Amino acid sequence: MSSPTAHNLVEVRGLRVVGSRPGEPDTTIVHGVDFDVACGEVLALIGESGSGKTTIALSLMGHARSGCRISGGTIRVGDTDVRSLSAKGLAALRGRKVAYIAQSAAAAFNPSRAILDQVIESALIHGTLSKPAAQAKAIELFRALALPEPEKIGKRYPHQVSGGQLQRLMAAMAMITDPELVILDEPTTALDVTTQIDVLQAFKRVIKEFGMTAVYVSHDLAVVAQMADRILVLSDGQIREAGATGQILHAPAHPYTQSLIAAVTPQRAVCTSGEPAPLSGEALQARRASDAPLLEVRRVMAGYGRKDAQGLPAKVILNDVDLRIGRAQTVGVIGESGSGKTTLAKVIAGLVPASGGSLLLDGEPLPADLNRRTREQFRRIQIVFQNADTALNPVHTVERTLARPLAFYHGIKGAKAKARVAELLELVRLPAALASRSTSELSGGQKQRVNLARALAAEPDLILCDEVTSALDTVVGAAILDLLRDLQRKLGVSYVFITHDIAKVRAISDDIVVLYAGHRVETGSREALCAPPFHPYSHLLVSSAPELRAGWLDEASQRCHQPLAPIGPSTDNPELCTFLDRCSLRVDGVCNHAAPSVRTLENGAQVLCHRSEADLLSFQTPHEAFAYAQVERA
């Protein structure tokens, strides 16, 4: 650790943060941490959930979350002793000298106020700029952050912009006062991979142009590799290792750092790992019991809003989608936000009625309307939602949470239910002692395991996993994937695994479906989605998955923003390719005039595209061609 110098903007010595509950002794959360941040440096705080990284970052503003307090140490930002400040002094510090960019931009904005008014509010409160000057500077920041229509976007309301745009607008809000230090707390965790590239590139460019000092909090080492000069690796409120980014990524010294690196599954390991571990006897019997699929989705259409004379909703989300799920099989569904992934899961679960097409469970029609399904059909198809915090009742104990489906589906109560709850907790690798705790007391990974155990309590044939690892850190997410695979081997359960992360979908899926704007643009085995040829949209997703090396972001920005081939106006054919406006392989007079047809490639994948297999195979950069060749050679 470097010693304090005049060149350090931030100096922290002996920082200690404790949590306390009435009648209980204090629990130490951060144990005497020392670190510095040099002027103009980007320092990353990396670690699992509960490692103390956000707690440490918030302490730089003199803030501790509810139930916690800073109990020791010194914190200096510039010439300010943060711990000596009064409440008024802290208010003057926050948003002026130290700015904070939170994980959830949606929660940071008031939905009833125009964006520009909220972005400039901090400058007006601190008196750093007049209103006209603040508005002019906000537009300058919008332009620097590569936001569309920088002169107009501020007039919109938060719900009228995308998640990626809102995240960049929150960055503008933080930077409007020219703060000395910016804290970025997991700012891209909730974004899909293609949006993440744009947001990271915008953040990196603005930090460099304005010469800002930043602390970047994340659990994603691949993202940190693109942003940070130095990394502090944290666990249990202690610094396990500190060093330059290159050293941490390529020569980690501490075993904990090595475990974090190992949890970032490289593409080569996923794509050359061969067949998954064999199924157990019961699971294998389930897969072989019949050649018929467990569930079929046939030409399903779905959406929201009032239906027209043809029965189609005002807003169509899914358009003519097919899906086939075998017993003890995992089908991955991947795509950006808005592609229709969650709507597909809700259609299968009956939460959104299909407007067209059909669902077959064991070859028998499955009613699209939830109210027409039987209790047995409810039992056989369960859904695990993305956010376990909102899916679980925080005042209920784990035992009560798991006992409800046991009583509803199987009539199990009393001592038998208590014993079965213990078995379910063992299945999801949680200690039986957790049964008496309320779900609000659990960590994110524990909550997601309880969420999964609740689905397993029904003894289902199919579980719909909707972004179940997206809010979890790398190590916990990897553990959940391992748990899902283990349960499938033991129980023969099938999964629909929904995600925007290509590495995760490759790691767990037998077959993969790629959705774009509600259309199925590619379907194939895991192996087929490991190397070209791809549909152009699949190629974009693959190219957008962060790699664990510095410099990847700049290369990816070039690959993902290739110049588009110029084309003339499109016909009014509603069946035209939905990816037309973003596709650099589009062909004038073809893609903008005729609907694409499904073609089967040599690797068995099916793509919805006009281009030939040779065209799709050649659609890769020299770097990608080398990388795929290395995978094949391995």
Model confidence pLDDT, tens digit, residues 311-350: 788 888 999 999 999 999 999 999 988 889 999 999 999 9
Confidence at residue 621, expressed as pLDDT on a 0 to 100 scale: 54
CA 151 to chain centre: 30
CA-to-CA separations, 46 to 1, 56, 190, 207, in angstroms, rounded = 16, 11, 17, 19
Confidence at residue 609, expressed as pLDDT on a 0 to 100 scale: 95
CA distance 256 to 233: 8
CB 510 within 8 A of CB 476: no
CB 104 within 8 A of CB 117: no
295 beta partners: 325, 361
CA-to-CA separations, 141 to 40, 109, 120, 213, in angstroms, rounded = 19, 17, 11, 17
CB 231 within 8 A of CB 243: yes
Residue 511: which of 498, 528, 499 has the closest Cα? 528
Extents of the domains making up the chain: 32-51+86-231+239-266, 281-390+459-526, 536-633
32-51+86-231+239-266 CATH fold: Rossmann fold (3.40.50)
Residue 167 or 404, more confident: 404
Superfamily of domain covering 281-390+459-526 = P-loop containing nucleotide triphosphate hydrolases (3.40.50.300)
CA distance 452 to 271: 27
Confidence at residue 624, expressed as pLDDT on a 0 to 100 scale: 52
Report the amino acid identity of residue 172. Answer: A
Residue range 45-61, pLDDT digits in tens: 998 878 899 999 999 99
Residue range 402-445, pLDDT digits in tens: 999 999 999 999 999 999 999 999 999 899 999 999 998 887 78
Confidence at residue 48, expressed as pLDDT on a 0 to 100 scale: 84
Report the amino acid identity of residue 214. Answer: A
Q: What pTM was estimated for this model as a whole?
A: 0.82
Residue 4 pLDDT grade (very low, low, confident, very high; cuts 50, 70, 90) = very low
- Within 10 angstroms of residue 315's Cβ, the number of other Cβ atoms is 11
Same fold, 32-51+86-231+239-266 and 281-390+459-526: yes
Confidence at residue 286, expressed as pLDDT on a 0 to 100 scale: 53
Residue 381: which of 325, 343, 425, 332 has the closest Cα? 325
Report the amino acid identity of residue 488. Answer: Q
Say yes or no to pLDDT of 634 above 80: no
Residue range 251-263, pLDDT digits in tens: 999 999 998 888 7
CA distance 151 to 132: 13
